[in-house]
Amino acid sequence: MKLLVFLSLCLSVTTACAQFAPAPHYDTYPPTPAITFEGEILDFYSVKNLYGEFSNFALFPIVIDDVSWPTSEHYYQAHKYTDPKLQELVRQAKTPMDAALMGRDPNIPKREDWDEYKDIAMETAVRAKFAQYQILRELLISTDQSQIFEHTKNDCYWGDCGDRTGKNKLGLLLMKLRFEFTRNEALR
């Protein structure tokens, strides 16, 4: 059943590949040049720094199932809930941080299957972001064979705990997508 839901979400993401150009992110932050990264380890976290585009707080609106989301963070946090009203409340949050704070509110019960569903929600959001922005695909491919880490002590599941002991699930997801995009480019 989980696989069916996942495949359905992936299909809806790839069919909604509206290109937003230019992304609001670049109104505030300069783009990271898509030149071959030559290091073995690439750390990212803050939207203000190089490779900040990889952050879920980066201002790249996405469309999933014909619904526009201000950022991948908005989508991810909203999907902690099954109630459409709560999802819409999070979607309308003014900033990615506001969306994150709403999603982390301990007074609002999360969906019962959140622990099983969170990886699907994240992959759906991040896949949409990179599928819908060629500049992001090019930047991700330019990271070459580097190991990508969301380098922060604030998150030991999506990030690396700041000391490489965390699961780094976001970094692993980005490397998975990089492999797919690189393979697809080679097949063209």
pLDDT at 2: 40
Structure tokens at 30: 């300069």
Across the chain, mean pLDDT equals: 90
Q: Which domain holds residue 146?
A: 2-187
In a 10 Å sphere around its CB, with 0-12 CB exposed, 13-18 middle and 19+ buried, how is residue 35 labelled? exposed
Q: Quick one: CA torsion of 125, 133, 45, 58, rounded to 10 degrees?
A: -80
- Read off the CATH number of the domain in which 169 is found: 1.10.357.40
**DSSP result, 21-49:** SS-THHHHSPPPP-----SSEEEE--TTS
Kindly state the helix (H) or strand (E) to which residue 12 belongs, with its residue range.
helix 2-15
With bands split at pLDDT 50, 70 and 90, how would you rate the model's confidence at 8? very low
**Coil/strand/helix, residue 3:** helix
pLDDT at 21: 55
Q: What is the DSSP letter of 146?
A: P
Domain count of the fold of the chain: 1
DSSP E strand stretches across 56-141 = 62-64, 67-69
pLDDT at 173 over 90: yes
pLDDT at 187: 83
